[in-house]
Amino acid sequence: MADAEVIPLGTRGKPGRGTGSAKPSSAARRLAPGAGPATPKKRAKPKPKPVPEAPAEVEAPVTETLLEEPLTAPPSTAQAGPDAVQGAEVPRSAARTRPPGIPVGDWLGAFTHASREVFGEAWEPRLAEMLAFFRRRVTGEYAVDEFGFDREVTERFLLAALRPIADKWFRIEVRGAENIPTDGGALVVSNHSGTVPLDGLMTGVAIHDHTGRFLRPLGADLVFKMPVVSELARMGGATLACGEDAERMLSGGELVGVWPEGFKGIGKPYSERYKLQRFGRGGFVSAAMRTGVPIVPCSVVGAEEIYPLVGNVPSLARLLGVPYIPVTPLFPWLGPLGLVPLPSKWLIEFGEPIRTDSYDEGAADDPMLVFNVTDQVRETIQQTLYSLLMQRRSVFG
Amino acid sequence: MGRVVLVTGVAREFASRFARALIAEPDVDRVVGVDVQPPRGDMSGVQFVRADIRNPVIAKVIAKEQVDTVVHMSVVATSAGAGGRGSVKELNVIGTMQLLAACQRAPSVEHLVVKSSTTVYGASSRDPAMFTEEMAPKKLPRSGFAKDAYEVEGYVRGFARRREDVTVTMLRAANTIGPRVDSPMAQYFRLPMIPTVLGFDARMQFLHETDMLAVLRHATLARVHGTFNVAGEGVLMLSQAVRRLGRPALPMPGFTLGTVGSLMRQAGLPGLAAEQLDFLTFGRGVDTRRSREVLGFSPAYSTAAAFEDFCRSQTRGLVAPSRIVVDGLTATAGRGASPAPIATPSGDSRG
């Protein structure tokens, strides 16, 4: 090693071309301090500011220079300190003669540019539309239907906020969307799971994205008792799960969603996942029969795993007047972090519509018939759940 | 021979307006107004009898004047100026009982019109979106005007059972609103800052005051038996109403609102009645199909138009529809901005 020949690489710190030659290149020479006359000329060029006369520039060191001050400065101070440091300050003081901050033109340019970034090429009408929307919201001049459904806010905010969760977090795959009627009343009946009724919201997003229709959910009365939730539910088109409201919506030609398992469904322990609970009292079937609308069975796979319910605090639940206080592997142990749903892969399948308009007049008041149809719907959903589970590769796959 | 109409509670401005409007009808011969206090202003042909409907004198009035139509309008919600809640309850409930007892004994009476309120349906989280006339309240009212109205309706139903020959028209009117209305809800909307319930947004329906007069007149002349919901078309959310009024809303948790109401009462402002608290939380909607199809009456003002008319009578608040700010924004930002497509039917959509 000791007698190895050292091959020089580079210039060893000396200025030069890297060829080992002692003479630095002309470019390198210009960079060296105290050399080269060309520099000031080149720096002056990109700043074509009107340089005021030198006397106006020199300022008394105590006074803060304002806009007009250099012009009104007495000539006596002009002679005061023509030393080198102040002379170097010339370009900076020249900048002070313009208004401080960003000029209006730049603001407008930035605004236009930002609007184009956000709204695309046709930004003007889009921005105007947004301001009109804003104006309507502020002055209250929008319309809601008799259930309190605010179409505009639902479309622009509620669905828009849920869509990334549906697409990116749960990666929902929708099958059989063509089974949802494109117009007229229909009743979507779905299984219910997941501790928190996210499946209802996600079904709503899926239906809106595939058919453009709004799902009008029927909610338990607890939903309308809770602050904030109640407000959002009415805004998003929900109403109370009762026969009167269901029939009113269905005969109004709405697409109504119902989860007949109710709290028994979403609050069931993880060990009973994908086992359908009792389907209420079949009230949804009689509502569909009375209005003659088809029943669309809907099976949701994946929602069971978002908050695996492993325990319950019944005494606290009774105290708070809610059906259950969930204990999951993450909640309440991780605090708010435990509220993040696990990113399971979801499959939503809409089955073939079950027609109810072929039954005769009094069919809705025939309990046996109602129970039979209820069982038929329940069986369909259960079988679809099993087949979807077979097709699913893994919970998070 | 025309009809003789007895109107109760004519000392109140609204009933006296109704009585004066009725006298102009060709079918009506005479209008007899009854109240404990004399009405203010010109009654222009309405015969006033100073009588208290809480005692049996009313029976003598009915018998002497040969009254065939009784319009009961003295079931009132406001407690101001009438000696507090206790005496209002007395007037509402005992007054109705006495009046109905008198009517039952009077063979001349053929038709009874009772002005009731949609308050009888109450307001709760278990309510259906729209009440029809057959539906009962989910939660029985325990106090206040709601309980009065509920009891009054009970007595009226009893009367209808006992006197089957009498046509009984019960009008369940939504909250009446308009420039001249002095109901608790109108007082509420006149507050400079409007307390609302945090996290809830009530659905509301309004009936314009002229529609209220019109439906009473229609019911008096049409003689249709039954109970009818009367309300302007459409629904307004409370938040929407407050924004249209342009006043700041003051959201506060539901359980504090009762305290706030009583504090307001102590401060000399109109307080918040018990039935109002529930209404402001859960709201209420009524189905008016029967009144449109059976009674044959459709209000000229929709809910939104009625409220708009009320707003016009108010000095608009500071917050929103000073409108210059927002309009200016719209105008500068988008030259191609079409005027906001406002779906609000305006007041001139009637007729």
Give the gyration radius of chain B's Cα atoms. Answer: 21
B324-333 vs A123-139: helix crossing angle, rounded to 10? 170
Q: Is residue A336 part of a domain?
A: no
Return the residue of B nearest to A124 by Cα. B334
Interface residue A230 vs chain B (CB under 8 A): yes
Is pLDDT of A33 > 80? no
pLDDT band at A54 (very low <50, low <70, confident <90, very high): very low
Q: Report the chain A residue with the minimal C-alpha distance to residue B321.
A: A139
Domain boundary among A85, A112, A142: A142
Give me B287's structure tokens.
């189905």
- Tell me the residue ranges of DSSP E strands in chain B: 3-8, 28-35, 47-50, 69-72, 111-117, 167-173, 175-177, 194-197, 203-204, 206-208, 226-230, 236-237, 249-252
> Residue A92's pLDDT band (boundaries 50, 70, 90)?
low
The answer to whether the Cβ–Cβ distance between A139 and B129 falls below 8 Å is no
Distance from CA of A126 to the nearest CA of B (A): 9
Contact in structure between A138 and B243 (CB atoms under 8 Å)? yes
User: Under a CB-based contact definition with an 8 Å cutoff, are residues B62 and B103 in contact?
Assistant: yes
Confidence band (pLDDT; 50, 70, 90) for B340? very low
Question: B243–A140: do the CB atoms touch at under 8 Å?
Answer: yes
Does A266 lie in the same domain as A357? yes
Question: Where residue A15 falls among pLDDT bands split at 50, 70, 90?
Answer: low
Which residue of B200, B320, B337 is in closest CB contact with A139?
B320
A212 plus A236 within the same structural domain: yes
Name the residue type at position A52.
P
pLDDT at B320 over 60: no
Q: Using DSSP, state whether B146 is helix, strand or coil.
A: helix
- Which residues of chain A make contact with B334, given a CB cutoff of 8 A? 124-125, 127-129, 131
The predicted pLDDT at position B231 comes to 96
Residue A239 lies in a domain: yes
A218-263: per-residue pLDDT in tens? 999 999 999 999 999 999 999 999 999 999 999 999 999 999 999 9
Specify the pLDDT at position B165.
Answer: 95
**Percent of chain B having pLDDT more than 70?**
88
What are the CB-based long-range contacts (under 8 Å, 24+) for A271-280?
A: A273/A193, A273/A304, A273/A305, A274/A191, A274/A193, A274/A301, A274/A304, A274/A385, A274/A386, A274/A389, A276/A191, A276/A378, A276/A381, A276/A382, A276/A385, A279/A374, A279/A375, A279/A377, A279/A378
Cβ of B200 and A230 within 8 Å?
Answer: yes
Residue A240 lies in a domain: yes
Chain B residues whose beta carbon lies within 8 Å of the beta carbon of residue A242: 126, 128
Write the pLDDT tens digit of every residue in B148-200: 999 999 999 999 999 999 999 999 999 999 998 888 899 899 998 899 999 99
Contact check, Cβ <8 Å, B254/A227: yes
CB of A138 less than 8 A from some CB of B? yes
pLDDT of residue B79: 60
| Residue at which a domain ends, from A87, A114, A142 | A142
Residue A348's beta-bridge partner residues?
Answer: A174, A300
Task: Provide the domain count of chain A.
Answer: 2
CB pair distance less than 8 Å for A224 and B240: no
Is the same domain home to A236 and A356? yes
- Same domain, yes or no: A174 and A255: yes
Question: What are the φ and ψ backbone dihedral angles of A193, each rounded to 5 degrees?
Answer: -160, 170
To which residue do tokens 């407000």 refer? A231
What average pLDDT is seen over chain B?
86
Burial A336-359 (b: 16+ CB within 10 A, else e): eebeebbbbbbbbbbbebbebeeb
pLDDT category, B241, cuts 50, 70, 90? very high
Q: Within an 8 Å CB–CB cutoff, is residue A147 touching chain B?
A: yes
Would you say B11 and B18 are in contact if contact means Cβ atoms under 8 Å apart? no
pLDDT tens digit sequence for A152-198: 999 999 999 999 999 999 999 999 999 999 999 999 999 999 999 99
Q: What is the pLDDT of residues B252-299, one digit of tens each?
A: 998 898 888 888 888 888 778 778 889 999 999 999 999 999 999 999
Residue A167: CATH number of its domain: 3.40.1130.10
Report the range of poorest mean pLDDT among B104-113, B142-151, B158-167.
B142-151
Q: How far apart are CA B8 and CA B19, in angstroms?
A: 9
Report the chain A residue with the minimal C-alpha distance to residue B287: A146
Residue A77 has pLDDT above 50, yes or no: no
pLDDT of residue A330: 87
Of A131, A228, A248, the CB nearest to B199: A228
Residues A82 and A160 reside in one and the same domain: no
- Asked if A148 and B198 come within 8 Å (Cβ–Cβ), the reply is no
What range does the domain containing A230 cover? 151-306+341-391
In a domain, A212, yes or no: yes
The answer to whether position A15 is within a domain reads no
| Alpha-carbon gap: A178 to the closest alpha carbon of chain B (Å) | 30
The candidate with the shortest Cα–Cα distance to B81, out of B195, B184, B207, B191, is B184
pLDDT of A8 reads 63
In a shared domain, residues A112 and A87 = yes
- In terms of pLDDT, which residue wins out, A120 or A395? A395
CA distance B158 to chain A (A): 27
Please say if the pLDDT value at position B329 is more than 70. Answer: no
> Which residues in chain A have their CB less than 8 angstroms from residue B240's CB?
140, 142, 144
Higher pLDDT among residues A140 and B72, named by residue: B72
Domain end position, chosen among A89, A119, A142: A142
Q: Are B235 and A144 inside 8 Å of each other by CB?
A: yes
Please give the Cα distance from B5 to B32 (Å, whole number): 6
Binary contact (B201, A234; C-beta < 8 A): yes
Q: Which of B239, B330, B336 sits opposite A135 (nearest CB)?
A: B330
Whether A115 is in a domain gets the answer yes
Best mutation target among A131, A242, A251 (most B Cβ atoms within 10 Å) is A131
Q: Check whether B227 has a pLDDT greater than 50.
A: yes
Three-class SS state of B183: coil
B130:A248 CB<8 A: yes
pLDDT of residue B8: 93
A148 neighbourhood in chain B, CB within 8 Å: 129, 201, 203, 235, 237, 283
- Is residue A205 within 8 Å of A322, Cβ to Cβ? no
Cβ separation A141–B241 shorter than 8 A:
no
Q: Check: CB of residue B84 under 8 Å from CB of residue B140.
A: no
Task: Measure CB to CB from residue A242 to each of B128, B235, B320 and give the nearest one.
Answer: B128
Tell me the mean pLDDT in the region B25-29: 90
**A91 and A194 together in one domain:** no
What's the confidence (pLDDT) of residue B270?
79
pLDDT at B319 exceeding the cut of 60: no
Return the CA Rg of chain A.
36
Question: Is the minimum CB–CB distance between A252 and chain B shorter than 8 Å?
Answer: no
Q: Quote the pLDDT of residue B335.
A: 41
Partners of A245 on chain B (C-beta within 8 Å) are 128-130
Compute the nearest-CA separation of B285 from chain A (Å). 7
Query: Does A183 share its domain with A97?
Result: no
Whether residue A42 has pLDDT greater than 70? no
B207–chain A nearest CA distance, Å: 15
DSSP annotation of A101: S
Kindly state whether A360 is in contact with chain B, defined as any CB-CB distance less than 8 angstroms. Answer: no
Buried b (16+ CB within 10 A) or exposed e, B163-190: beebbbbbbbbbbbbbeebbbbbbbbbb
The verdict on a CB contact (< 8 Å) between A138 and B243 is yes
| Mean pLDDT of the region A358-370 | 90
A122 and A165 assigned to the same domain: no
Residues A300 and A249 in one domain: yes
**CB pairs below 8 Å between A and B: how many?**
135
A179 and A240, same domain (yes or no) = yes
DSSP state of A113: H
Of B152, B177, B196, whose CA–CA distance to B53 is shortest? B152
Is A183 in the same domain as A226? yes
A246 assigned to some structural domain: yes
Count the Cβ atoms, other than its own, within 10 Å of residue A320. Answer: 10
* A11 within some domain: no
